[in-house]
Amino acid sequence: MLSRVVLSAAATAAPALKNAALLGPGALQTARIFHTGQPSLAPVPPLPEYGGKVRFGLIPEEFFQFLYPKTGVTGPYMLGTGLILYFLSKEIYVVTAETFSSIATIGLLIYGIKKYGPSVAEFADKLNEDKLAKLEEAKQASIKSIQDAIDMEKAQQALVQKRHYLFDVQRNNIAMALEVTYRERLHRVYREVKNRLDYHISVQNVTRRKEQEHMINWVEKSVVQSISAQQEKETIAKCIQDLKLLAKKAQAQPVM
């Protein structure tokens, strides 16, 4: 169709080309290139928000604009009225029974549309809005959950930064435990060694005591053996004499 427009423009521009216009389309068909564009389905182009403006619900506004330069504002109305009266008077449109039923039907339709139109339109808009709101809700919920996950991740990362404190404490604990075990073992070694040494000392003590005792016994025995009977009598008599002397001395002095 565009090719026809181009050709007619060319014909008006240069009348000599008018003959060429007659066999132009045929030549053009063979040279037409198909599928040159890049049709893509996304993103979908938006729908217009409002339809074309119409008057009386039937006649587009462009018609009135089209007639305005020549006939002014009342032009299309005069045209309409004239046409209707012409059809009626010449009985091109015959008034029959159907006329009245059509008046009834179309009157009822117009009344219904005028009365319930806006509410129905609002209902349709609400349906669309609800659909969008649900999808938006899903999207927002998804975004929020991901955001929450990100925040938690950040918190976890912050915690990880402070983990070395925990490790230090644990390291200290372990070092202390090791120290304690070492000291305990050291003490045990000391005790064991002391035990051994004490044993040796007590063995030595016992041996020496035994030797002493044995020696004393031997000495006593040999002394007792060496005391003859005569010496024994003389010693005992001397002891009795000493005792009597002491007794006299003791009685002589008063008790203090």
Binding site for other proteins (CB under 8 A): 41, 44, 47, 95-102, 104-108, 120-121, 123-125, 127-128, 131-132, 135
Tell me whether residue 13 or residue 44 sits nearer to other proteins (CB atom).
44
Phi, psi of 88 (to 5 degrees): -75, -45
* Total length of the chain: 256
Please report how close the Cβ of residue 43 comes to other proteins at its closest, in angstroms: 12
Side-chain-side CA neighbours of residue 102 (13 Å): 7
Tell me whether residue 127 or residue 150 sits nearer to other proteins (CB atom).
127
Q: What is the 3-state secondary structure (H, E, C) of 195-253?
A: HHHHHHHHHHHHHHHHHHHHHHHHHHHHHHHHCCHHHHHHHHHHHHHHHHHHHHHHHHC
Tell me whether residue 128 or residue 230 sits nearer to other proteins (CB atom).
128
Please report how close the Cβ of residue 114 comes to other proteins at its closest, in angstroms: 16
Could you give the 3-state DSSP secondary structure of residue 55? strand
Please report how close the Cβ of residue 89 comes to other proteins at its closest, in angstroms: 17
Cβ neighbours for 17, distance < 8 A, ≥ 6 positions apart: 10, 11
Tell me whether residue 134 or residue 209 sits nearer to other proteins (CB atom).
134
Tell me whether residue 33 or residue 95 sits nearer to other proteins (CB atom).
95
Please report how close the Cβ of residue 87 comes to other proteins at its closest, in angstroms: 13
**Environment class of residue 75 by beta-carbon count within 10 Å: exposed (0-12), middle (13-18) or buried (19+)?**
middle
**Environment class of residue 25 by beta-carbon count within 10 Å: exposed (0-12), middle (13-18) or buried (19+)?**
exposed
Please report how close the Cβ of residue 92 comes to other proteins at its closest, in angstroms: 13
Please report how close the Cβ of residue 30 comes to other proteins at its closest, in angstroms: 35
Tell me whether residue 104 or residue 203 sits nearer to other proteins (CB atom).
104
